[in-house]
Amino acid sequence: MRGRMGEGETVTALTGLERTGVTATARPDAGVGAARPRSQRCWHRGGPTATTTPQVLSLQPDGGSTCTTPRKRAGVPLRRSSRTFCTQHGGDRSGIGGSRCRDPTTCTFLTSRDPLDGIDGTPTVANPYHYVDNNPINKTDPLGLRPNECSFKDEAIALSVEDRQAAMRSFVGRNEAVSAYENATPHVSGLMAFTQWEVDSGRLSNTGGSAWWRAVNGGMMLDIRAAGKLIRSNGLSARSSDPNIQAWIDYQVSARSGGQATTQRALWRAHQLSLHRGVDCFDDLLAREEGSEQEFIKHVVENVDITALLNFPSDEWGAMTIGAVGKSLPLVWPSFYPDYGDVTWDRARQASIALLLPDFKSYAALVGANILGLDSGWYWKQWR
């Protein structure tokens, strides 16, 4: 899939195929070209018509909360925290469908405790009145019963390329409350390179790309950003009831006090939790990808799982390691999105295997995945 065409070579496919489309005037009529209706947000405080002041919850390490007013964002899918947090559903205090009632002023459920137990080791155990594990940035709970773990989809997709990079940079940079740069960089350099590849290959893009890649990468970046914010506010003692965010905090702690292998494992744990929350949440987006891209994605995830399980380094050799360790070795990287044409990804992979190692299967069996018959879901559950 790489190096197919030399400098100066000419592509001669002037096929003359014509499309039978039509042209249409986009402006200024009221059809496609109608003036964009600026998004109407339903911000409520103390009732649906009281005010239009949006509020979100500031996370506190002790499980408490304060309400703050964020800047409005235009043109972004309705943020889940604004949709349900500090919003009195239905305009009265009866809650939804007979579920829990919430006080929009204090941002807590007051009239009934959470029917679900809190998570051990987090403030939610001590505070049965918590809302979405005190994590309204990443979760919603429309019925007041169980947080929706996948509600970050729109925000993850809408995160700009620039801010995905900024999230990664911020997390490893000196502008964190603690300076882990020297320790962190070797571990995350492979992840940074991979993120850049997602951009360069066109999978992450502000104007197109892949919804699956954008959602899964975006979910991880939102976890990283949330962890960074908590560390900036509360230092390394920061705690989050969200296991994904806590895992990224734990990585930063380990980067300062743990050994190389321990820190690497902490990073893989955080990475795998974020990765697989996205994998679990976005089957619908995966189904929208072309068949070869689906094959590629599944093999990438499996390879990363195995690489992480074996605690291989995630440094600049990460991509190499991933390609060499996985049960579907070697990976063939579609260098731009999509890059298949009439060749399926699996056929390209088989061709590369034939070039590389004729007896590849016997080696692959030894590597582990095939011999154990494990699937991707098994691996990631090891991080729970």
Partner 1 sequence: MGAGRVIAACLAVLLVGLGFLLWRQSSGGGGLGSEGWSVTRALPSPTGSDVAFLGTPRQGDVLRTRLVLAGADPAELSPSGVQARSFAWLPDGESLLLAYSDDVGSEHPTRFAVIGTDGSVVRRLEPDRQGIVESGIAIEPDGQRALLPAREMSPYIGPTDLWRLDLSTGAVEVVSSEDTDGEAQAWPTFVSQDEVVLASGKPISATEGANGWIGRLDLETDSVERLTDEAMTADFPSITPGGEYVVFEAFPGNERSKRGLWYAPIDGSAAPKLLIERLPGRAAALEADGRSVLVVDAGAPGDASKIWRLGVPEGAPWIAG
Over the window 338 to 357, marking each residue x when it contacts partner 1 by CB under 8 A and - when it does not, the resulting string is xxxx----------x--xxx
Closest distance between partner 1 and the C-beta of residue 41, in Å?
13
User: Does residue 11 belong to the site contacting partner 1 (CB under 8 A)?
Assistant: yes
Query: Using the rule CB under 8 A, is 22 a contact of partner 1?
Result: yes
Residue 9 makes contact with partner 1 by CB under 8 A: yes
Biggest alpha carbon distance in the chain? 73
168 interacts with partner 1 by CB under 8 A: yes
CA angle, 155 as apex, 152 and 160 as ends, to 5°? 140
Name which position in 77, 128, 142, 258 contacts partner 1 (CB under 8 A). 77
When asked if residue 368 is in the footprint of partner 1 (CB under 8 A), the reply is: yes
- The answer to the question of residue 367 lying near partner 1 (CB under 8 A) is yes
47/119 Cα distance (integer angstroms): 31
Distance of CA 313 to the CA centre of its chain: 21
Residue 374 engages partner 1 in binding (rule: CB under 8 A)? no
User: What does the per-residue mask of binding to partner 1 show for 199-228, with x meaning CB under 8 A?
Assistant: xxxx--xxxxxxx--xx-------------
In contact, 124 and 134? CB cutoff 8 Å = yes
Contacting range for partner 1; rule: CB under 8 A; set: 92-100, 136-144, 230-238, 335-343: 335-343
Determine the Cα–Cα distance for residues 198 and 207; give it in Å rounded to an integer.
14
Contacts with partner 1, 94-113, as mask; x by CB under 8 A: --------------------
Task: Map the footprint of partner 1 across residues 219-278, applying CB under 8 A.
Answer: none
- Least CB distance to partner 1 at residue 345 (A): 10
Of 40-48, 56-64, 124-132, 289-297, the segment contacting partner 1 by CB under 8 A is: 289-297
Work out whether 166 is an interface residue with partner 1 (CB under 8 A): yes
Interaction of residue 149 with partner 1, rule CB under 8 A: no
Query: For residues 193 and 236, which CB has a smaller minimum distance to partner 1 in the complex?
Result: 193
Task: Return the bridge partners of 345, or none.
Answer: none
Q: What is the DSSP string of 297-323?
A: HHHHHHHHHHHHHTT---STTHHHHHH
Helix H or strand E segment including 211: helix 211-234
Instruction: For residues 38 and 14, give the distance between their C-alpha atoms in angstroms, rounded to a whole number.
Output: 43
Total site size for partner 1, rule CB under 8 A: 108
Q: Is the dihedral of CA 170, 172, 178, 179 positive or negative?
A: negative
Q: Is 70 in the site for partner 1 (CB under 8 A)?
A: no
Measured CA to CA, the distance from residue 220 to residue 216 in angstroms comes to 7
Contact set for partner 1, span 106-145 (CB under 8 A): none
- Decide: is 358 part of the binding site for partner 1 (CB under 8 A): no
The residue whose two tokens read 């990808």 is 289
Which among 151, 55, 51, 177 has a CA at the least distance from the CA of 106? Answer: 55
CB 313 within 8 A of CB 321: yes
> Site for partner 1 (CB under 8 A): which residue of 107, 132, 161, 273?
161
- Determine the interface stretch with partner 1 among 46-54, 68-76, 251-259, 269-277 (rule: CB under 8 A): 68-76
User: Residue 66 is encoded by which pair of tokens?
Assistant: 């304060």
Q: Using an 8 Å Cβ cutoff, are 53 and 42 in contact?
A: no
Task: Single out the residue of 40, 117, 259, 366 in contact with partner 1 (rule: CB under 8 A).
Answer: 366
Give CA–CA dist 249/235, Å, rounded.
Answer: 10
Minimum distance between the CB of residue 235 and partner 1, rounded to whole angstroms? Answer: 22
Point out which span in 84-92, 244-252, 261-269, 312-320 binds partner 1 (CB under 8 A): 312-320
CB–CB of 42/48 below 8 Å?
A: yes
337 binds partner 1 (CB under 8 A): yes
Q: In this complex, which beta carbon is closest to partner 1, that of residue 355 or of residue 373?
A: 355
